[in-house]
């Protein structure tokens, strides 16, 4: 494996780690008090 592909692999792992699916607990731990969850509109279709 060349240095570039090693780096690419490392960066890909880093991004995968930072992109893993959210759990509600994780979000609760990040967002401070004083905020309320806003329900998505019925018509909301994630792109």
Partner 1 sequence: MSSAAASRRNVRLPPEVNRVLYVRNLPFNITGDEMYGIFGKYGAIRQIRLGETKATKGTAFVVYEDIFDAKNAVDHLSGFNVANRYLIVLYNQRRERKS
Residues that bind partner 1 (CB under 8 A): 7-8, 11-12, 14-15, 18-19, 21-22, 26-27, 29-41, 44, 46-47
Closest distance of CB 31 from partner 1, Å = 5
Closest distance of CB 13 from partner 1, Å = 10
∠ CA(42), CA(37), CA(16), 5° rounding? 90
Closest distance of CB 44 from partner 1, Å = 5
Torsion angle (degrees, nearest 10) of CA 8, 10, 15, 20: 130
Q: Quick check: 9 and 1 in contact, CB under 8 A? A: yes
């Amino acid at each position: 494996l060349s240095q570039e592909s090693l780096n690419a692999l490392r960066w890909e792992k880093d991004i995968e780690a930072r992109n893993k699916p959210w759990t509600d607990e994780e979000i609760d731990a990040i967002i401070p008090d004083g905020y309320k969850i806003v329900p998505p509109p019925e018509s909301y279709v994630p792109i």
